[in-house]
Structure 1
Amino acid sequence: MKYLVEVCAGSVEDCLIAEQQGAHRIELNNAVHLGGLTPSVGTLIEAKKRVDIPIIAMLRARPGGFYYNDVEIETMFRDAEELIKHGVDGIVFGFLNEDASVDVQTTKKFVELAKKHEVEAIFHRAYDRANDPYEAIEALIVCGVDRILTSGQKPTADQGIDLLKDLHKRYGPKIELCVGAGVNISNVDTILVKTSINQVHSSFKGWFKDPTTHGKVSYQYDEKGDYEGVSRQVLKAFIDHLENVEK
Structure 2
Amino acid sequence: MRTQPILLEVIATTVADAKAAERAGADRLELVTAVGEGGLTPSVGLIEAVVDAVTIPVNVIVRPHSRSFVFDADDFAVMARDVRAVAAAGANGVVTGMLTSEGEIDREGLRRLTDIASEAGVAVTFHRAFDEARDLAEAFDVLLGFDAVTTVLTSGGKPSVLDARETIAELVRRSRGTRCTVLAGAGLTIDAVAGFVRDTGVDAVHFGSGVRIGGSGLGAVDEARVVQVCAALDAVAGA
Q: Secondary structure at the match of 1:77?
A: helix
Aligned to 1:141: 144
In the aligned structure 2, how far is the partner of 1:117 from the partner of 1:206?
Answer: 36
Q: Secondary structure at the match of 2:220?
A: strand
In the aligned structure 1, how far is the partner of 2:36 from the partner of 2:223?
Answer: 18
Q: Check conservation: 1:110, 1:121, Cα contact below 8 A.
A: no
Query: 202, 207, 212: which one pairs with 1:205?
Result: 212
Aligned to 1:219: none
Q: Secondary structure at the match of 2:99?
A: coil
Q: Check conservation: 1:58, 1:93, Cα contact below 8 A.
A: yes
In the aligned structure 2, how far is the partner of 1:102 from the partner of 1:242?
Answer: 32
Q: Secondary structure at the match of 2:190?
A: coil
Q: Check conservation: 2:181, 2:203, Cα contact below 8 A.
A: no
1:231 aligns with 2:214: no
Aligned to 1:185: 190
Q: Secondary structure at the match of 2:11?
A: strand
In the aligned structure 2, how far is the partner of 1:171 from the partner of 1:238?
Answer: 24
Between stretches 42-51 and 166-175, larger displacement belongs to 166-175
Aligned to 1:115: 118
- What amino acid is aligned across from residue 228 of structure 1 in structure 2? G
Q: Secondary structure at the match of 1:153?
A: coil
TM-score by length of 1: 0.89
Displacement after TM superposition at 1:168 (Å):
1.2
Displacement after TM superposition at 1:207 (Å):
4.9
Over the matched positions of the two proteins, sequence identity in percent amounts to: 30
Between stretches 137-146 and 93-102, larger displacement belongs to 137-146
- What amino acid is aligned across from residue 120 of structure 1 in structure 2? A
Displacement after TM superposition at 1:55 (Å):
0.3
Query: 229, 236, 239: which one pairs with 1:245?
Result: 236
Q: Check conservation: 2:193, 2:232, Cα contact below 8 A.
A: no
Describe the shift of the 1:10–1:121 C-alpha distance in structure 2 as closer, same or farther (beyond 3 A): same
- What amino acid is aligned across from residue 189 of structure 2 in structure 1? N
In the aligned structure 1, how far is the partner of 2:177 from the partner of 2:193?
Answer: 22
Q: Looking at CA atoms only, which structure, 1 or 2, has the larger radius of gyration?
A: 1
TM-score by length of 2: 0.92
Query: 47, 50, 68: which one pairs with 2:50?
Result: 47
- What amino acid is aligned across from residue 169 of structure 1 in structure 2? R
In the aligned structure 2, how far is the partner of 1:234 from the partner of 1:34?
Answer: 24
Q: Which has the higher helix share?
A: 2
**RMSD between superposed Cα atoms in Å:** 1.6
In the aligned structure 2, how far is the partner of 1:20 from the partner of 1:202?
Answer: 15
In the aligned structure 2, how far is the partner of 1:12 from the partner of 1:52?
Answer: 12
Aligned to 1:150: 154
Displacement after TM superposition at 1:65 (Å):
2.1
Query: 165, 170, 176: which one pairs with 1:166?
Result: 170
Displacement after TM superposition at 1:33 (Å):
2.0
In the aligned structure 2, how far is the partner of 1:171 from the partner of 1:233?
Answer: 32
In the aligned structure 2, how far is the partner of 1:207 from the partner of 1:64?
Answer: 28
Q: Check conservation: 1:3, 1:242, Cα contact below 8 A.
A: yes
- What amino acid is aligned across from residue 245 of structure 1 in structure 2? V
Aligned to 1:69: 72
Displacement after TM superposition at 1:69 (Å):
1.7
Q: Secondary structure at the match of 1:92?
A: strand
Q: Check conservation: 1:157, 1:191, Cα contact below 8 A.
A: no
Query: 4, 7, 26: which one pairs with 2:7?
Result: 4
- What amino acid is aligned across from residue 164 of structure 1 in structure 2? I
- Structure 1 stretches lacking a partner, 5+ long: 209-223
